[in-house]
A and B are shown apart, each in its own frame.
Chain A
Amino acid sequence: MTLTTPAEAPARDGRRRALGLRADVRNLSLLGVLAALVAVGGLTRPAEFLAGSNLQLVLTQASVIGVVTVGMTFVITSGGIDLSVGAIVALASVWATTLATQEFGFAGILFTAVAVGLGCGLVNGVLVAYGGMVPFIATLAMLASARGLALQITDGRTQIVTVPSVLDLGVPDAYVLGIPPLVLVFAAVTAAGWLLLNRTTFGRRTIAVGGNPEAARLAGIDVRRQRLLLYLLSGLCCGIAAFLLIVLAGSGQNTNGNLYELDAIAAAIIGGTLLSGGRGTIVGSVLGVLVFTTITNIFALNNLQSDVQQIAKGAIIVAAVLVQRRTVRDSEA
């Protein structure tokens, strides 16, 4: 019984799903929320909210946490969790903005941010994959240590960036067709993340490991290596996000990335990624990020305090997950 690709034309019954329409149905509720938020913003602050500069601001703000969320989505899809993302962003941003690093200019800052992210991801990955530690604990330890190290490096001071080529990326002159470069990076990371998850063996293995680790192992997948690579990927995303944050803020601070872990997890979950693993959606995660960033923007424009904002965020998480559970149940019943 040898197998060859059949000469007959492949059936097309899976085309609808192949185009990803099925996943989009699940994202519809989130798009609805986003549309409602835009309506609220447009009604309460028509002039400010819909201005092009505000749109640029929202997208720019979404870029940093968005890149982190893409990495987080992979980790959660594999059944893991990375609590250390915010701390890694902080550590990478301060390490990349020390006076010594800044001497190497643009390339030095970019390289350091990415290298620190990868290094932290490597430690997380080794602890989880080969040290047998529970991801929650391993990355919690990384959270504490990376924050501590960031504080040690800065001594609590803000490190101003003096490299012009880095700062120039954040000014309107650098915008490409009106799009800030940071947003372009976010879009590129999103596209790469989507392709990686949905079109490559790496993505397929990630889903398999998250869906049923024992079955994945017995199917011949090197589950430990896959887990290591996933935490590396999350670290890489944190490094990129740290660089974006340096450009955005023009400085590096040890308080950067505060509570990013919670925002990224929340965005991934309301986007439709299963916390238990086995299913992940990059598009959903990005929509989740946009929903949260838009809320923040609307509240800021309306001069509402962050306490109200936090409550609204919490309510949206609960509502989105409840709606999704219903949709998932209906589509798979």
Chain B
Amino acid sequence: MEGITKTFPGVRALDGVDLDVAPGEVHCLLGQNGAGKSTLIKVLAGAHQPDDGRITWNGEPVRLRSPSAAVRLGIATIYQELDLVEGLSVAENVHLGHEPTTAGFVRTRAAHDTTTALLKRLGHPEIDPARRVGELSAAQRQIVSMARALSHDVRLIVMDEPSAALDPDEVANLFRIVADLTADGVAVVYISHRLEEIRRIGDRVTVLKDGRAVARGLPAAATPTREVVALMTGRDVPYVFPDRPAAPPAAEPVLRVQGLARKGEFEALDLELRPGEIVGLAGLVGSGRSEILETVYGARRPTAGRVLVDGRPLRPGSVPAAVRAGLGLAPEERKAQGLLLLESVTRNVSVSSLARFSRAGWIDRTAERDTARTATRALSLRPDHPDARVRTLSGGNQQKAVLARWLLRGCRVLLLDEPTRGVDVGARAELYAVIRRLADDGLAVLLVSSEVPEVLGLADRVLVLREGRVVHEAPARDLDEHRVLDLVMEGSPTA
């Protein structure tokens, strides 16, 4: 792959990335969230069409117009979010799209036999080809995905964080499979956050950062960790973070979280949040960050512990109660969870404060527009047009619409989940300034971000999470990115 470029509205996801993979090699892709790894492998899988660049396959230039075109060439991809049909059996999933047939009828027997053979080869003969995929564990599904990839005549397998859902002994099995594949001359592109895994099975490493390949083909075993982390974190685009207040706020905590837990997601969490303070939660995907925010907010019901606002406990599992108490959430998936995409900016901003402009259920629409506009202007939302469809706004301005909603509501504790996801680098600094200003005006902010520099730059205090547990807590100024990355990655299962 040479010079692959892919632009999404407002974001340049890939900027001239080169990648070369040799037969029988394990080529690792490293990079922080948002560095462009997923986009790159989707281009390789034919799921995204690059805006620019060339793909060469065995010396021939090719165009991958669709996922099936990639599969025909022998490129199979195992995605992080497994793409299996839960209602179908293991064998049906493995052969999905290329069922063995006779005159249009699926030869079930043959499908089962080949599936059994594949599962055996993968070291999991205990999985019954006739079982529904919905009944399988996450690790077993991973194996089924892999069996599906191998059911084609593959020359290149792309694995996106295949070990994320696996236990240590299953990871060992995964490594054995990868070794078998490469011995047969199959090339593997392996994506993982876990450096030690890469060191064990990788041959070469390509590091992506902000859509660019900052290092290509480094020897996986010989390159020191420090160098890799430096490559992942070093930035061309400096983030401008607003100044912190000189003295930490001394007020009584507005939000207290006591022993909050959700089985299987995160363990007993204690947290205090004062007005004017920004507290950051740092951790990898799957460390329980978003789950914590949503549980504090009442969108998920905790299995233990409680949340207090001004010393009064919130009714667990009730969003309306949390909102009444002064909590507000800017959710992770802005479009799916935050916005009414068919509606105008005004209506998106006013939706949580309707009682404020209405008497006996009757909405005073002039007051609604005017106050909503005051809120959007306070955040410099562009365009300054209350009737603009929220769908037409840029990511940063959509986020401001969500923030304006809570500003208008008079919320006192703001929960921000990935506030700059899908926001252009240039617009981030403005969003950071807005968040800090809200805090300076007395809001308490709980921030979750997978971008470590963002948490460190914006928050006053940082809690580092690993696998649902707080492993470290410190003022942001006492931490640096390397230290946090060490904390979130160390002790992973294969270490």
Taking Cβ atoms with an 8 Å cutoff, the residues of A that contact B are 1, 3-6, 10-11, 13-14, 17-18, 199-202, 204-205, 207-208, 211-212, 214-222, 278-279, 332
Contacts and interface: CB of A to CB of B under 8 A. Distances in A.
Interface in B225-258: none
A214 B332 CA distance: 12
B85 interface: no
B340 A278 contact: yes
A13 B373 CA distance: 13
Given A1-B407, A208-B340, A219-B405, A199 B347 contact: no
A220 B319 contact: yes
B367 A5 contact: yes
A216 B340 CA distance: 8
B319 A218 contact: yes
A204 B378 contact: no
B339 A13 contact: no
A11 B366 CA distance: 10
A215 B340 contact: yes
B320 interface: yes
A200 B363 contact: yes
B406 to A, nearest CB: 9
Contacts of B299: 217-218
A77 B336 CA distance: 18
Contact of B320 (A17, A221, A332): A221
Interface in B364-393: 365-367, 369-371, 373-375, 378, 385-387, 389
A204 B347 contact: yes
B365 A18 contact: yes
A13 B387 contact: yes
Contact of A1 (B341, B347, B437): B437
Contacts of A3: 371, 374-375, 378, 407-408, 410
Interface of B: 297, 299, 319-320, 322-324, 329, 331, 336-343, 347, 350-352, 354-355, 358, 361-363, 365-367, 369-371, 373-375, 378, 385-387, 389, 405, 407-410, 437-438, 441
Given A3-B371, A10-B370, A199-B362, A218 B340 contact: no
Which residue, of B297, B324, B343, B410, has the highest number of chain A Cβ atoms within 10 A? Answer: B343
Contacts of B389: 332
A6 B355 contact: no
Given A4-B374, A10-B370, A18-B365, A220 B341 contact: no
B338 A215 contact: yes
Nearest to B356: A3
Contacts of A204: 347, 350-351, 354, 363
Nearest to A9: B370
A165 B316 CA distance: 54
Contacts of B324: 220
A155 B375 CA distance: 63
B19 to A, nearest CB: 37
Given A17-B387, A200-B363, A214-B337, A219 B378 contact: no
B5 to A, nearest CB: 26
Given A13-B387, A211-B340, A215-B338, A6 B374 contact: yes
23 contacts: A1-B437, A3-B378, A3-B410, A5-B367, A5-B370, A6-B373, A11-B373, A14-B369, A14-B387, A199-B362, A200-B362, A201-B358, A204-B363, A211-B341, A212-B336, A212-B339, A218-B297, A218-B299, A219-B352, A220-B322, A220-B324, A222-B320, A278-B340
B441 A220 contact: no
B338 A216 contact: no
A214 B336 contact: yes
A204 B351 CA distance: 8
Among A1, A11, A211, residue most surrounded by chain B Cβ atoms (within 10 Å): A1
Contacts of A200: 358, 361-363
A201 to B, nearest CB: 4
Given A3-B407, A214-B336, A219-B405, A278 B342 contact: yes
A201 B361 contact: yes
Given A14-B386, A200-B363, A1 B340 contact: no
A332 B342 CA distance: 10
A218 B329 contact: yes
A220 B323 contact: yes
A18 B347 CA distance: 13
A201 B340 contact: no
A10 B366 contact: yes
Contacts of B410: 3
A211 B342 contact: yes
B245 to A, nearest CB: 16
B132 to A, nearest CB: 21
Nearest to B347: A204
Contacts of A14: 369, 386-387
A14 B373 CA distance: 13
A10 B368 CA distance: 11
Contacts of B361: 200-202
A8 to B, nearest CB: 9
Given A6-B374, A199-B365, A200-B358, 16 more contacts: A3-B375, A5-B370, A11-B373, A14-B386, A17-B387, A199-B362, A201-B358, A201-B361, A201-B363, A204-B363, A205-B354, A215-B338, A218-B337, A218-B338, A221-B320, A221-B352
